[in-house]
Amino acid sequence: MRLLIFGPQASGKGTQAARVAEHFRILHISTGDIFRENISQETELGKLAASYMNDGNLVPNEVTNNLVKNRLEEEDCAKGFILDGYPRTRNQAEFLTELNHKFDAAINLQVSESEIIKRIGARRICENCKTGFNTIFIKPKVEGVCDKCNGKLIIREDDKPEAIKKRLSLYHELTEPLLDFYREKGLIVDINGDPIMDEVYAEIIQKLSA
């Protein structure tokens, strides 16, 4: 099974992608996670990615395309995968098309603007192990402290207001038009992303299994 997932910032895209991957026993490949791992390990790619990400900009297409191409060539991808955070631009969608993987569906998580604003303000990440929390939905046991490693919970650099404004507008301008591209191919599965996580997850599994 090969899936794509689209959704604006704070749509729950990463969380749902991880759960869907577990359900179907496929890989969860998140370009954002790969960039963040490289940033925390201070690799060359990480340094480059951080210079774009921290301000809410996209990492250049050639860099991201190469990264995805190499990742998808690894053997473990044979069991199937869900691509989270890619493609994000017309250039990336065309590049992906040329890689010739046959996709089964593209999940489109739809979340209202007011819900997005509310959620982003609540998003936190562990400074140490990078686990995501949310002061509304996935509350840590102790406020401001990571359940897993006791690390400090902070606001992701690119979740700060200026960066978020830019990321949301980039999503509308560059990524949303790709939905038509995949809709024409008959791949889009529309999902209402407003309800609580478990409900959204149930709708995804039900629609993908239908």
Positions that interact with Zn ion (CB under 5 A): 126, 128-129, 131, 146, 148-149, 151
* Binding flag, residue 124, ligand ADP (CB under 6 A): no
Total binding residues toward ligand ADP, as defined by CB under 6 A: 17
2 part of the active site = no
* Binding flag, residue 193, ligand ADP (CB under 6 A): no
Q: Which of 4, 5, 20, 64 binds ligand ADP (CB under 6 A)?
A: 64
Which of ligand ADP, Zn ion, none does 91 bind, CB closer than 5 to 8 A by kind? none
19 part of the active site = no
DSSP symbols for the chain = -EEEEE--TTSSHHHHHHHHHHHHT-EEEEHHHHHHHHHHTT-HHHHHHHHHHTTTPPPPHHHHHHHHHHHHTSGGGGG-EEEES---SHHHHHHHHHHTPPP-EEEEEE--HHHHHHHHHHEEEETTT--EEESSSS--SBTTB-TTT-PBEE--GGGSHHHHHHHHHHIIIIITHHHHHHHHTT-EEEEE-SS-HHHHHHHHHHHHH-
119 part of the active site = no
Interacting residues with ligand ADP (CB under 6 A): 9, 13, 31-32, 35, 52-53, 57-59, 64, 85-86, 88, 92, 158, 167
Active-site residue numbers? 13, 88, 123, 156, 167
